[in-house]
Amino acid sequence: MTLSRRSLIRSAAAVATTALVTGGGIGSARASTAVRAGAATGSAFPADWMGALPDTLSLLRMTVPGTHDSCCTDPANGTEWSHTQNWGITEQLQRGIRFLDIRANGLQDHLGDAFGIYHSSFYQGITFDGVLAQCRDFLQQHPHETIVMRLKKEDGTSNDVGAGFKDVMNVYLDTKGWRPWFLLADQVPSLGEARGRIVLITQFDNDLPVLRWPGGDNDFLSNQWFSLQDIYQGLSSPSQKTAKVSRQFDSVAGDQDSALMYINFTSYAGGGWPKVNADAIMPGVQSYLNGRLSDRTHLGVVPMDFPDFHSDTLSALIDWNWH
């Protein structure tokens, strides 16, 4: 008999309960987390929602809420055109976000040993060091969670390190000691393999054994690891963007055993400020989800702008892991 995802998770919670009582199998801290989350799973515990899911579950078979341009929290660091989030990294993670879209390049006066975070040419007032410190602190407090991170070399900055981007990344991994916090793997891991670490997806030239973002821009794209929808310009209305999001949801719904991780950006940069566009797009996304609450599907990674204004969608995406 094939177990539903809900049955599988309940079984995992029962195993954790047995281990807590008998002292077998699972460590006490891990077991207590599973039992607590198992009593009220998902968005009821947004900082710990992954803790109720079984180790054997592949990230390919999950629904993972994320943010687009995750560090762009202040219009003073550019304009309202570059303002995509109100929550900082720590609050995003506490609220259940598990995919971060990090765009970096050289940091002025640091001569190849640090990244700043940018949106196009605009420095966002935070370094990659700061991003990693917040991720580390969260994972130390919530060791059953994982963070999926796209690290992109953001072109157009005044401190472009060029082909030296990979060398600066190596400084972070080894000289600065961040390597143990990353899961560097060229296949999508299980949740058990990824717990307590950052799953790295690279969008820069490198020779690391990692997942690699599809090449290209503003389109439906794919490679051996990903199926990506990131159409952010060139549409006549935000409703057309909602239709692109729905199309990608339909694609993953029809490809549930895929070896690809589906990524589906809801963000759009055409015609209005990101907040205006998000307010126009997200009700349609929520309507799509509301119409499929009985489905037994996973939806992949869903990066958003301003999830604080669309918390119903954020909660729905977290809870989709128990459908």
Asked if residues 118 and 70 have their Cβ atoms less than 8 Å apart, the reply is: no
pLDDT tens per residue, range 280-305 = 999 999 999 999 999 989 999 999 99
The token pair that represents 147 in the structure block = 């963070």
Whether 188 has a pLDDT exceeding 70, the answer reads yes
CA distance 111 to 317: 41
pLDDT of residue 184: 98
For helices 5-22 and 28-39, what crossing angle results, to 10°?
140
CATH of domain 60-322: 3.20.20.190
Q: What is the mean pLDDT of residues 1-8?
A: 44
pTM above 0.85, yes or no: yes
Whether 75 has a pLDDT exceeding 80, the answer reads yes
294: exposed, middle or buried (C-beta count within 10 Å: 0-12, 13-18, 19+)? exposed
pLDDT of residue 141: 98
pLDDT of residue 28: 30
pLDDT tens per residue, range 106-128 = 998 888 899 999 999 999 999 99
Instruction: Give the C-alpha distances (Å, rounded to integers) separating 117 from 101, 121, 224.
Output: 10, 10, 28
pLDDT tens per residue, range 255-276 = 999 999 999 999 999 888 999 9
CA distance 49 to 38: 9
Tell me the domain boundaries of the chain.
Answer: 60-322
